[in-house]
Amino acid sequence: MVLQFPPNPTVGQVFQLWTWDGQKWVCTGGGGVTPPVPPPGGEVMPVNQVVFTASGVYTRTPGLVSAIVELTGGGGAGAGVEVSTGTLAGGGGGSGAYTRAVFSAAQLGASQLVTIGPGGVGAAGAVKGGDGSMSSFGGLLTAPGGFGGDANISGGAGAPAMANPPPGVLALPGNGGSAGEQNLAVANFVIGGTGASSYYSGDAVGTEVVPGNSAPGNSASYGSGGSGAAQSNGTTPQPGGRGGDGLCVITEFIATPQ
């Protein structure tokens, strides 16, 4: 299940088990949930999750033993459409790459700069969607952004995987966006291309339009590609949907106090 964190949070705002500290969501066990109780004769290693939806600085939690770091790049935007007496459908954007690795406390150091790659931005007119940008976790991990959808209907390519990943790093490429659809034999059926899904979020489905209308593409979230715009004898140029911004999820494993 993908968590849909509230937009524009305020400091101290609680969402399920997470609290916004001003720059990132931190798993604090809020919302009335208490930490797990160790079973008889055993211990539970506490787990803390930190989620970055915007760039910031990750500071290691005291007592951290190791952490799983997951990263995705920004998604590409869908292509736009211009005014035309015919039908047009922009291609959907490609999704950002996904990278995952496990690091020890020594490898992480005291802190790391987290850069969240923004999704590509669509523009009105027969123009290609903007490309998504790379996300990074210090100098340890990168996740390239997806490419924007093409104005000549075809979908944008998915992001390439992290280049030359070290041993033990899982580096996967993004998915490609879908082409827009036009079928003049079925009442000028037109639908913008679907933006590709990312590891964290589903695809952005294109909007179908009827003759005499046009519609912008749909925006995406968490590294997915935006969908393409569409028009059928429309009178207004429309932009492709914005690609989803990247995401960084850090799962910390913390030593149990003795």
> Mind listing the pLDDT tens digit of every residue in the chain (258 residues)?
345 677 778 888 877 667 788 877 776 654 444 444 444 444 556 788 999 999 999 999 988 989 999 999 999 999 999 887 778 888 999 999 999 999 999 999 999 999 999 999 999 988 999 999 999 999 999 999 999 999 877 788 888 999 888 888 999 999 999 988 876 555 567 888 899 999 988 877 888 887 788 888 889 999 999 999 988 887 889 999 999 999 999 999 988 654
DSSP output for 215-253: EPPPP--TTPPPPPPEEES-SS-BBPPPPPP-EEEEEEE
Integer Cα distance of 161 and 131 in angstroms: 15
**CA distances for 154 relative to 90, 92, 143, angstroms:** 7, 8, 24
Residue 220 burial by CB count (10 A; 0-12/13-18/19+): exposed, middle or buried? Answer: buried
- Residue 168 gets the label, from left (phi > 0), alpha (psi -120 to 50) or beta, of left
What pTM does this model have? 0.81
Strand residue runs (E) in the chain: 14-15, 18-20, 25-27, 47-52, 56-59, 64-72, 87-89, 98-104, 111-115, 135-137, 141-143, 170-172, 181-183, 189-191, 208-209, 213-215, 230-232, 247-254
Name residues whose C-beta falls within 8 Å of residue 68's C-beta, 6 or more positions apart in sequence. Answer: 100, 101, 102, 250, 251
Structure-block tokens of residue 234: 């429309």
Structure-block tokens of residue 179: 């082409």
Integer Cα distance of 81 and 75 in angstroms: 19
SS3 18: strand
